[in-house]
Amino acid sequence: MAARGYKTYRAGTALVIGAPDEIDIANQQQLEDVAVRGLARGPVVVDLTATTFLAISTLRVLVRCQRASEQSGCPFVLAAVCTSVLDLLVLAQLSDQLRIYPSVDAAQRALQGGLELFADKLPRHP
């Protein structure tokens, strides 16, 4: 399954969504659609390895995905977040709300109960 710019695959029980280099108004709805559909079946890991730009409008999408996660009872996590995207998440004070891992492998291990949240190590906004 693929949605414009996104590649998906199953890793264990999780749906991994490989994101493109930029997530903005042109493709952020596809991310939400794929993630919400995936959350109906299990955990979702968004692989941001290639992503170097995240539009501010995409922050709302991530919050809606997190809410869908809470409603479904299935985890929604971000993995391999680059510094510029991580800085935006911290600035927007979303690093406390979103589960963030240093890699897809770390996210998968954490979903199996093996790692603490990477977000716990992030700087906090006062």
Domains assigned to the chain: 2-121 (3.30.750.24)
Do 89 and 79 contact (CB within 8 A), yes or no? no
Q: Quick one: pLDDT at residue 64?
A: 98
pLDDT tens digits, residue range 85-118? 999 999 999 999 999 999 999 999 999 874 444 4
Q: Quick one: pLDDT at residue 112?
A: 86
- CA atoms within 13 A of residue 119's CA, in its CB half-sphere: 17
Taking the model in full, what pTM does it have?
A: 0.87
- Give the 3-state secondary structure percentages of the chain, helix then strand then coil, rounded to 5: 40, 20, 40
Q: Quick one: pLDDT at residue 113?
A: 77
Q: What does the mean pLDDT of the chain come to?
A: 89
pLDDT tens digits, residue range 31-51? 999 999 999 999 999 999 999
Residue in the block written with tokens 């977040």: 81
